[in-house]
């Protein structure tokens, strides 16, 4: 297991109103690919118009570093006011500055400068592809569509600022404000319980199964001067991450905390597991793995008749809840294999017995 707190000067755990709410908006873009998110996320996603959903994706993904706070403020309204007071060109530079720092491309860089990148959408996509592997997708992929839409805003900073602020104000006033007021007291109590908890319990489940993401997160944290663990009301059994300069923020929920070896589950975690296992497709996967043992994703897809995206969505949730274990298949570079985590099922059964007395 990778120890994520390394070479850092400080560590903090507590509620962060601004970043937690921004991350909730990010989660709206993952409803179609991640099962088990908080019901609020799915409800809001369903209520938004297709145009607003697309705008949220472009703003939260394509313009992400424009939004990530550069300083701490006490509340989301204060954050919005700080954005209002920031010149449009400075907001754009926050985005482009982070891109300039990202030099992780495995092939030689194109050598495009920022000025050259902004001359055309094609140049901009080439510039980003030198920094993000997801931009290696097909030209008409969703990632390309998002970045093309973002480009049209980036080259017009005043319009970009106006669009971003309109969207953030709308989502705060219509959805986030009331939800945050309802969930904050419980989040604060939950955060207090995590003080003194073994840091390895905060390690994302993804660390043990997705080596590219694990290595990226390890690099982020090894370079950070400060790491913050921030409770999220909506992340479900997953972890999230956000970075700005030397600060790394890791988002977690009640279902994200790893069970200590030999320990049991709380009521909230049991509820998430019951909901996951109440789905016929996920139960079919568990039954298949119980009967046939370790299988690759293509073998699961073939046996259950799932599409690649459908199988991935179900496997992500089962893995996040530790109901199944994800590992790299022997003799392959990228293929994933899965098997039932019997220890988790045993702990779940014991927790139920303890709960009912």
Number of structural domains found in the chain = 2
φ, ψ of residue 85 in degrees (nearest 5): -80, -10
Residues 189, 280, single domain; the answer is: no
Residue 260 lies in a domain: no
Residues 33, 140, single domain; the answer is: yes
CA distance 136 to 156: 26
pLDDT, tens digit, for every residue of 50-72?
Answer: 999 999 999 999 999 999 999 99
Is the pLDDT score of 211 beyond 60?
A: no
Residue 307 lies in a domain: yes
Residues 155, 291, single domain; the answer is: no
Q: Which two tokens stand for residue 282?
A: 């996920």
CA distance 315 to 325: 10
Residues 62, 151, single domain; the answer is: yes
Residue 244 lies in a domain: no
Beta bridge partners of 241: 250
Residue 259 lies in a domain: no
CATH of the domain at 336: 1.10.10.10
Is the pLDDT score of 311 beyond 80?
A: yes
Question: Per-residue b/e over 44-70, b at no fewer than 16 CB within 10 Å?
Answer: bbeebeeebbebbbbbbbbbbbbbbbe
CA distance 315 to 167: 33
Of 354 and 260, the one with more pLDDT: 354
Residue 222 lies in a domain: no
Domain that holds residue 320: 267-356
Single out the residue in 136, 171, 194 at which a domain terminates.
Answer: 194
Provide the pLDDT confidence category of residue 207 given band limits of 50, 70 and 90: very low
Single out the residue in 150, 165, 194 at which a domain terminates.
Answer: 194
Question: Would you give the end-to-end CA distance of the chain in angstroms?
Answer: 34
Single out the residue in 164, 194, 224 at which a domain terminates.
Answer: 194
Q: How many residues are present in the chain?
A: 357
- Nearest Cα residue to 167 out of 16, 86, 49, 41: 49
The full DSSP string for 128-189 is HHTT-GGGGS-TTSHHHHHHHHHHHHHTSHHHHHHHHHHHHHHHIIIIIHHHHHHHHHHHHH
Residue 179 lies in a domain: yes
Of the segments 34-48, 96-110, 121-135, 313-327, which one has the largest average pLDDT value?
34-48
Beta bridge partners of 340: 324
Q: At what angle do helices 157-171 and 50-57 cross, to 10 degrees?
A: 120
Q: Which of 103-107, 109-113, 162-166, 243-247 has the lowest mean pLDDT?
A: 103-107
Is the pLDDT score of 222 beyond 50?
A: yes
Residues 168, 290, single domain; the answer is: no
Of 130 and 198, the one with more pLDDT: 130
Residue 110 has a pLDDT of 57
Residues 190, 284, single domain; the answer is: no
* Average pLDDT over the chain, rounded to an integer: 83
Return the residue matching tokens 């093309």: 148
Q: Which of 57-66, 96-105, 252-261, 266-275 has the lowest mean pLDDT?
A: 252-261
What's the average model confidence in pLDDT over 207-226? 63
Residues 43, 190, single domain; the answer is: yes
Residues 287, 185, single domain; the answer is: no
Residues 129, 48, single domain; the answer is: yes
pTM of the model: 0.77
What's the average model confidence in pLDDT over 285-295? 91
Residue 226 lies in a domain: no
Residue 32 lies in a domain: yes
């Amino acid at each position: 297991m990778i120890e994520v707190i390394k070479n850092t000067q400080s560590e903090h755990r507590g509620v962060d109103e601004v970043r937690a709410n921004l991350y909730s908006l990010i989660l709206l873009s993952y409803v179609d690919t991640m099962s088990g998110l908080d019901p609020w996320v799915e409800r809001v996603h369903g209520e938004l118009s297709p145009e607003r959903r697309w705008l949220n994706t472009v703003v939260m993904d394509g313009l992400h570093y424009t939004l990530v706070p550069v300083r701490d403020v006490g509340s989301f309204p204060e954050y919005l006011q700080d954005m209002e007071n920031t010149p449009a060109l400075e907001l754009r530079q926050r985005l482009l500055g982070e891109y300039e720092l990202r030099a992780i491309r495995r092939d030689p860089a194109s050598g495009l400068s920022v000025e050259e990148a902004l001359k055309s959408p094609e140049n901009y996509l080439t510039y980003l592809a030198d920094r993000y592997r997801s931009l290696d997708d097909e030209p008409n992929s969703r990632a390309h569509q998002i970045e093309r839409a973002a480009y049209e805003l980036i080259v017009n900073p005043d319009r970009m600022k106006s669009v971003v602020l309109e969207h953030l104000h709308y989502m705060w006033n219509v959805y986030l404000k009331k939800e945050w007021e309802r969930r904050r007291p419980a989040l604060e109590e939950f955060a207090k319980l995590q003080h003194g908890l073994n840091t390895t319990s905060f390690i994302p489940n993804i660390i043990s199964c997705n080596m590219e993401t694990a290595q990226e997160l390890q690099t982020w944290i090894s370079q950070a001067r400060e790491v913050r663990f921030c409770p999220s009301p909506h992340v479900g059994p997953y972890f999230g991450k956000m970075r700005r300069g030397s600060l790394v923020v890791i988002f977690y929920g009640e279902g994200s905390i790893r069970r200590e070896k030999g320990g049991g589950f709380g009521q909230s975690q049991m509820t998430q597991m019951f909901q996951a296992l109440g789905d016929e497709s996920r139960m079919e996967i568990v039954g298949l793995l119980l009967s046939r043992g370790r299988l690759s994703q293509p073998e699961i897809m073939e046996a259950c008749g799932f599409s690649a995206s459908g199988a991935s969505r179900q496997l992500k949730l089962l893995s996040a809840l530790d109901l199944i274990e994800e590992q790299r298949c022997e003799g392959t570079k990228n293929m994933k294999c899965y098997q039932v985590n019997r220890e988790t099922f045993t702990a779940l059964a014991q927790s139920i017995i303890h709960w009912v007395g």
